[in-house]
Amino acid sequence: MGNRKKIKFDKETEVIGEICKALGHSTRIHIMTLLWKKNNRTCGEIVELLPFAQSTISKHLLELKKANLVNIKNKGKKIIYSIEVDKIQILKKFFANFISTIDISEQDKSTVLKTRHKVKGRNSHLKQYNYEFPHKKIKDDTL
C-alpha cells in the first residue's frame, strides 16, 4: 500500500466538502428537501412521506446531524429536526461563486453533455485505440 497524502485546505473548503459528502445520498437530499418545505419535522413525519423504514431514515438523519446540516430539539419523547440555515447559506454562496466562474460559449452549451466518441459493439466501453500499443486496435464489429 502506498502513502496517502493529507492536504490541508482552508476551513471553508473543508466545510463545503463535509456538506457535499453528507448530501451525497439521494435519500438525504430528499430529507433536506422535505425539511426545507416544512421545517420542524419529527422522524415519524419524514417516515410517513418516504418509502423507507424508520431505522433507515434515522441513520440518514444522523449523517445530516454529523455534518451540522440539521438542528435537533427535544420535545418530550419526540425529536424535532430542522435545517441549519447557516450551512445552507455557505453552500449557496459557494455554488453561486462557482457557477459564475464557468464560461461556456453558446456553441458549446448544446454539446457539453453529449458524448463525442461512440464505439458500437461488445467493447463499446473501451477506447478505440490502445495508446500504449498503437499497433493494437479494437475490432470494428460494424464491418
Q: Indicate whether 6 belongs to any domain.
A: no
Cα 134 vs. chain centroid, distance in angstroms? 38
Contact of 141 with 119, CB cutoff 8 Å:
no
Residue 135 has pLDDT above 90, yes or no: no
Q: Indicate whether 23 belongs to any domain.
A: yes
CATH number of residue 83's parent domain: 1.10.10.10
Q: Indicate whether 38 belongs to any domain.
A: yes
Structural domains of the chain, count: 1
How many angstroms separate the Cα of 58 from the Cα of each of 19, 39, 43, 71? Answer: 18, 17, 7, 14
Mean pLDDT across the chain, nearest whole number? Answer: 78
Average pLDDT for residues 67-94, to the nearest whole number?
Answer: 90
Domain residues for the domain of 83 are: 11-89
Q: Indicate whether 76 belongs to any domain.
A: yes
Q: Indicate whether 137 belongs to any domain.
A: no
Q: Indicate whether 132 belongs to any domain.
A: no
Q: What digits encode the pLDDT tens for the residues 48-72?
A: 999 999 999 999 999 999 999 999 9
Q: Indicate whether 110 belongs to any domain.
A: no
pTM of the full structure:
0.63
